[in-house]
Structure 1
Amino acid sequence: MGFDEEFDALRRGLLAHCYRMLGSHHDAEDVVQEVYLRARKGLAAFEGRSSVKTWLYRIATNASLTALNHGSRRVIPSGLGAPSDDPDTHDVEQLTTPWLEPLPDAALARAGVSDPVHVVLEQESVRLAFVAALQHLAPRQRAVLLLHEVSAWKVQEIAEALEISVPAVKSLLQRARSRLEEVRPAPADPPASAEVERELLDRWIRAFETTDIAAIEKLVHDDFAIEATGHRTWFRGIAVCLPFVERQLLQSPGELRLRATRANGQPAAASYRRDASGHYRATHLVVLTVVGDRIARSTNFPGADHVVAAGLPAVLPG
């Protein structure tokens, strides 16, 4: 197998790894391309003392660390402060901070195929809650944790890849685990089945397209949360979320169209709004977190680019 074939076989895993590190699908794509160019250039000097996979992940990790040196951590609103208790607020503060981005499942599929067992593990490690929690770790803590816990590297391998001592790796790993426990939501019910997720997503889409707030109420947990990147304000609890959805998000019947997709290994929907010409233009991607048999969270990512990255059109005919 030639280098290009080996790289293509590993591209999907590299993309997922860089996304976990960076919290940005677009930045991860750029780093994976950089990894390819650097590896291609350094191929003659590769001595084969490790596998090509280990070598490429080493390059990817260090390239991600370099990228993180030039930017702030990516966040979602719930990581910035307490929720609002006013569903009628118009003080939805906009921020220019770097925001966490979704990773469409279609983007991973374009990057390559994977065996079913690996796909399950991959999806668990790119779920929004986990990736959002990772952003609270210092870059080297993040790198050490991911290489050890997700990629199953030995401490010695990590030390060699990052050019630090074994005790330093152990210290970083301990601090990373401790910090992750502080910021990561506690495990709730077991993950929902694919069938349950599909049914909930279909019902969510119908409810929004028909502006049926009663149907939405039946789909969500009592402590349901809703947030959108770009704004500090977010909401939790149906007493606040449902009035907010009804008064500020729902449109007249026929104004919205939604299309089912998946992102971060979770059910998702692309949202379209009808314009003056009668066409429907993509506005944002909604990623749903399902716990048990209901929806626990809706995380909205404004921007048609997220919809297109999910393999869906930017415009639907009227």
Structure 2
Amino acid sequence: MNIDTDDLTTLDERSFGARVEPHRRELHVHCYRLLGSFDDAEDLVQEAFLRAWRRRETYAGRASVRAWLYRIATNACLDALDKRPRRPSADGEVAWLQPYPDDLLAQLPDHREGPEDVALSRETVELAFIAAIQHLAPLPRAVLVLREVLGCSARDTAVLLETTVASVNSALQRARGGLRHALPEDRGDWRADATAVEQALLARYVDCTERVDLEGLAALLHEDARFSMPPEPGMWVGKEAVVTCWAEGGFGSDAFGSVRCVKTRANGQPAVAVYVRLPGGSDYAALTLESLRFRDGAVADVVNFDRSVLPHFGLPMTLDTVQSVGTVETS
């Protein structure tokens, strides 16, 4: 049977799965943008595929299968947000925020045409952008993603969301206004990554972390550095506040143990998985995944995710002594 046919009602479950499966990664990223959580996006893609199978007779061939799946996935996300509304804290924290591995982003189909499109693609998976749009109400958030990330027309967006063009345009204006308040003012600086300066700064950050050198790390921080640990509450702003937080957490003390790092990338930016071996221990146990943003030759943001996100990156929960000799890199 030709699984590329547009008559989805003629397909058995296995053939239907083969027809929609190539869209899984881009739908997962789409759901991730709307939800801010890698795990929730995984659940919603599965829900979208299940809905698509159950409602396959609603596909009339007037649009592509891809567009039909985006419609189902978007509405599945909106339904989930309606059932379980979540709001950032008063100081802007998004407690449910999770990182997205660059290795998986590389699986996205390449619809880009030039440098501007590459920048846009990078920009719309940046952690700051994902966190910022979580401040928007669900409908404006969906409209923003559909109109300005996926490039849908106002009419197509209205059809997809089962609303009017006027409502779409109004929601987009609200989303743009909200986004201006939620995004960091210095956001554009992230585009300078992958330079020799960044690589050198990352190497110094890893070296100081592995030597448990609090003073060395403090010297790398921007004066306005920010530190957060979703899903734990609290955001520390300013070099002194960040360093104090780390010191109070035991970093730099004899009891902290020895550290090894695994360099990786998340949301188009450098990230470091941190493993700790307690005094007297044998293996290095996963502690955190740190997403980094650099500005003006310094570390501007450190977002510390708990170790539960490491499997998304294909990283182990422990490193033995042999594995830990030298810093490992996943990319």
TM-score in same-fold range (> 0.5): yes
TM score, norm. by length of structure 2: 0.82
- Specify the alignment match of 1:225 in structure 2: 226
Q: Distance in 1 between matches of 2:274 and 2:248?
A: 17
Structure 2: which 5+ runs fail to align? 5-15, 322-331
Greater relative CO (CA pairs within 8 A, separation 6+): 1
Q: Distance in 1 between matches of 2:316 and 2:267?
A: 19
- Specify the alignment match of 1:279 in structure 2: 283
Equivalent of 1:295 in 295, 299, 311: 299
SS in 2 for 1:286: strand
The percent identity for this pair of structures is 40
Report matched runs for 1:26-45 at 5 Å. 26-45=39-58
Deviations 1:67-89 (A, max 9, x none): 11122326478515xxxxxxxxx
- Specify the alignment match of 1:161 in structure 2: 160
Equivalent of 1:307 in 307, 310, 316: 310
Q: How many residues align?
A: 299
Report matched runs for 1:142-161 at 5 Å. 142-161=141-160
AA aligned to 1:71 is R
- Deviates most, 206-215 or 157-166: 206-215
Q: Distance in 2 between matches of 1:116 and 1:249?
A: 47
1:182 aligns with 2:181: yes
Deviations 1:97-149 (A, max 9, x none): 9521222223445xx34339476543321111111111111101100111001
1:104 aligns with 2:74: no
- Specify the alignment match of 2:325 in structure 1: none
Q: Following TM superposition, by how much is the alpha carbon of 1:293 offset from its aligned partner in structure 2, in angstroms?
A: 2.6
SS in 1 for 2:261: strand
RMSD: 2.5
Q: Distance in 2 between matches of 1:49 and 1:29?
A: 28
Q: Distance in 2 between matches of 1:98 and 1:208?
A: 25
Q: Following TM superposition, by how much is the alpha carbon of 1:211 offset from its aligned partner in structure 2, in angstroms?
A: 1.9
Q: Distance in 1 between matches of 2:247 and 2:88?
A: 26
SS in 2 for 1:194: coil
- Specify the alignment match of 2:127 in structure 1: 128
Deviations 1:211-251 (A, max 9, x none): 22343234221111111123333212122222333453524
SS in 1 for 2:192: coil
Q: Distance in 1 between matches of 2:88 and 2:267?
A: 15
Distance 1:188 1:45, change over 3 A: closer
TM score, norm. by length of structure 1: 0.85
SS in 2 for 1:226: strand
- Specify the alignment match of 2:9 in structure 1: none
Q: Distance in 2 between matches of 1:205 and 1:113?
A: 29
Equivalent of 2:26 in 2, 7, 13: 13
Structure 1: which 5+ runs fail to align? 81-96
- Specify the alignment match of 2:71 in structure 1: 58
Q: Following TM superposition, by how much is the alpha carbon of 1:189 offset from its aligned partner in structure 2, in angstroms?
A: 5.2
AA aligned to 1:134 is I
Q: Distance in 1 between matches of 2:146 and 2:87?
A: 20
SS in 2 for 1:69: helix
| Preserved contact between residue 105 and residue 262 of structure 1 (Cα < 8 Å) | yes
Distance 1:294 1:5, change over 3 A: farther
Q: Following TM superposition, by how much is the alpha carbon of 1:188 offset from its aligned partner in structure 2, in angstroms?
A: 4.8
Which of the pair has more CA radius of gyration? 2
SS in 2 for 1:287: strand
Q: Distance in 2 between matches of 1:313 and 1:177?
A: 40
Q: Distance in 1 between matches of 2:61 and 2:111?
A: 29
Q: Distance in 2 between matches of 1:188 and 1:38?
A: 37
1:193 aligns with 2:197: no
AA aligned to 2:305 is F
Q: Distance in 2 between matches of 1:174 and 1:116?
A: 26
Deviations 1:251-290 (A, max 9, x none): 4486222211111111111111214541111122111112
| Preserved contact between residue 75 and residue 98 of structure 1 (Cα < 8 Å) | yes
SS in 2 for 1:79: coil
Q: Distance in 1 between matches of 2:282 and 2:142?
A: 48
Q: Distance in 1 between matches of 2:314 and 2:118?
A: 19
SS in 2 for 1:68: helix
